[in-house]
Structure 1
Amino acid sequence: MSTNSGDQSRGSWTAATRGQLERRLPWDNLLPDRQPYWVGSWVYVFGVVTIAALAWVVASGVILALFGPQWWHLSRAGRFFNSLHSWSVQVFFVFMVLHLWGQYFMASWREGRAPTWMIGVVTFGVSIATAFTGYLSQQNFDAQWIAVNAKDAINSTGVGGFFNVLNFGQMYGLHVMLLPIGMVLLVALHVIQVRMKGVVPPIGRLSQPDVTREMTEK
Structure 2
Amino acid sequence: MSESIGTEAEVPSWTRATRDFIGKRLPLAHFLPDRQPAYVGSWVYVFGVATIASLAWVMLSGVILAFFGPQWWHVTGLGRFVNSVHFWSVQALFIFMVLHLWGQYFMASWRDGRAPTWMVGVVIWLVMIVTAFTGYLSQQNFDSQWIGVNAKDAINSSGGGAFFNVLNFGQMYGIHVMLLPIGITVLVILHIVQVRAKGVVRPIEGKGRGA
Given the two structures, how large is their TM-score scaled by the length of structure 1? 0.91
Unaligned runs of 5+ in 2: 207-211
Written as runs of structure 1 = structure 2, the 5 A alignment for 1:141-152 is 141-152=142-153
Matches of 1:7 and 1:75 in 2, distance apart? Answer: 65
How many matched pairs? 203
Instruction: Report the equivalent of 1:86.
Output: 87
Written as runs of structure 1 = structure 2, the 5 A alignment for 1:147-166 is 147-166=148-167
Alpha-carbon shift at residue 78 of structure 1 (Å)? 0.4
Q: Percent same amino acid at aligned positions?
A: 71
Matches of 1:157 and 1:174 in 2, distance apart? Answer: 19
- 1:33 aligns to what SS in structure 2? coil
Unaligned runs of 5+ in 1: 206-218
Given the two structures, how large is their TM-score scaled by the length of structure 2? 0.94
Paired letter, 2:84 = S
Higher relative contact order (CA 8 A, sep 6+): 1
Instruction: Report the equivalent of 1:132.
Output: 133
Paired letter, 1:152 = D
Alpha-carbon shift at residue 4 of structure 1 (Å)? 3.1
Alpha-carbon shift at residue 170 of structure 1 (Å)? 0.6
Paired letter, 2:44 = V
Instruction: Report the equivalent of 1:2.
Output: 5
Matches of 2:152 and 2:50 in 1, distance apart? Answer: 34
Cα offsets for 1:8-35 (capped at 9, x unmatched): 2xx1111101110011000100011111
Instruction: Report the equivalent of 1:209.
Output: none
Cα offsets for 1:165-194 (capped at 9, x unmatched): 111111001100100110111111111100
Written as runs of structure 1 = structure 2, the 5 A alignment for 1:62-81 is 62-81=63-82
Matches of 1:84 and 1:70 in 2, distance apart? Answer: 17
